[in-house]
Structure 1
């Protein structure tokens, strides 16, 4: 028997109208936060970042492909992974559709990872993805944008991620079989190695031949581009994650 509140249609409508006020307030607040993002000062990029792509080795400027704006998803896929991070993969499952529309609105969308290009290409083929994906292994791009850390930083507590300092081995204090352990196993690596790469997204603009960094976000800041969560937030039981991590690579679900 259900434990949820049961009501009449009139009671439902009254409650729905109250919720509508809150939803409208949230929408207006979201619009204001978006304006604050766009008002951030731009920071000039002077470093010659290089990437390996399907078209060969290119510079950051080449990733724009004639557009004035560039969005990069920092996809967790280190050189020692056998597969991409399951969470990043679930986010990236929506990129094929988004990338086409963004490219026709003066915005290029790329995924960037540290794994060598051949690994990215093989996993991309496995997942059935077509969006552009570059390897940053030739340079310091991931380090400079705070989505890759060394083993020494990890061991000594010298990691600044998501705009705060992390204590040493903070993730190792979790319970056996936690989210990081589960995802590391699905990515084919150990937990410590898995967590030296991190997720995030960064935005860039190009004006008069100069590239500027405009915005970066990490961790829960990525919820807004995680396409499945707005749907789950509207489902009757919400995200329903009391039992922890449930998602897999989309070709690893039991399809019974």
Structure 2
């Protein structure tokens, strides 16, 4: 017999209507935050960022594809990874269906990672994805937008991620002790996810997830917004559904796999 609170349909409806008022307030608050995002000052980008794409070498302007706006998902796939981050892969499972709608609303979309393009293309084919995915391997794009870090930063200087400073961790410690790695998932996330990407925890954690927005106006490109860590939860469709399921996220450890790996363990 369930230990959860039960009740009559009338009791459920009364509780649901009370919750509805809070949900409406949250929606209005979300609308206000969206408006404030759009009011952030734009920062002009003069650096010539270069990428490798399936259509050849590209500039940041090329990623706009003739549109005035660009959304970028910073996908955790470093040069030493053998496969994409499982969490980023789960988020990316929701990209294909929205790209056509964005493109027909004057918004371009691209994932960007530091892994070389052939590695990205092979993983993209494995996952059955079609969304644009560019490699920034030889440029400063990822580091400038605070989603990739050097060994020196990680071990000696500390890193600036999600608008906070993370203290340095000696590499010999970080490589062996995943508990020293900050995790936005369950505590076992860094150890298991690093293994699932063919790396050690330190190498895995030198890449971080995020999203960034850009606008092209009068020939100039401006950075308008970036979000990191749980700031990307809003585009993570599986969690939006789980938050509405009876038991919610219900996480006691890493449960997520890439979509072609369920049933293997």
TM-score grouping bracket, smaller chain normalisation: over 0.9
Summarize the alignment of residues 157-172 of structure 1 with structure 2, pairs less than 5 Å apart: 157-169=157-169, 172=177
CA distance in 2, matches of 1:157, 1:77: 23
Deviation at 1:173, TM superposition (A): 6.4
- For 1:162-211, what per-residue CA distance to the aligned partner results, in whole angstroms no more than 9, with x for missing partners? 00100122974628981011111111111100000110000000001100
8 Å CA contact 1:63, 1:70 repeated in 2: yes
Is 1:254 aligned to 2:250, yes or no? Answer: no
8 Å CA contact 2:243, 2:249 repeated in 1: yes
Deviation at 1:157, TM superposition (A): 4.2
- For 1:95-150, what per-residue CA distance to the aligned partner results, in whole angstroms no more than 9, with x for missing partners? 00011110111001100000000000000000000000000012100010000111
Summarize the alignment of residues 99-138 of structure 1 with structure 2, pairs less than 5 Å apart: 99-138=99-138
Runs of 4+ in 1 over 6 A off after TM superposition: none
Summarize the alignment of residues 10-25 of structure 1 with structure 2, pairs less than 5 Å apart: 10-25=10-25
Structure 2 CA distance for partners of 1:157 and 1:3, relative to 1, 3 Å: farther
CA distance in 1, matches of 2:227, 2:242: 22
TM-score (norm 2): 0.93
CA distance in 1, matches of 2:6, 2:264: 33
TM-score (norm 1): 0.96
Is 1:174 aligned to 2:184, yes or no? Answer: no
CA distance in 2, matches of 1:31, 1:145: 26
Summarize the alignment of residues 77-88 of structure 1 with structure 2, pairs less than 5 Å apart: 77-88=77-88
CA-based RMSD: 1.7
Flag structure 2 segments of 5+ consecutive residues without an equivalent.
182-186
Q: What residue number does 1:61 align with?
A: 61
Q: What residue number does 2:184 align with?
A: none
Is 1:3 aligned to 2:3, yes or no? Answer: yes
8 Å CA contact 2:178, 2:201 repeated in 1: no
Flag structure 1 segments of 5+ consecutive residues without an equivalent.
none
Summarize the alignment of residues 27-46 of structure 1 with structure 2, pairs less than 5 Å apart: 27-46=27-46
Structure 2 CA distance for partners of 1:174 and 1:255, relative to 1, 3 Å: closer
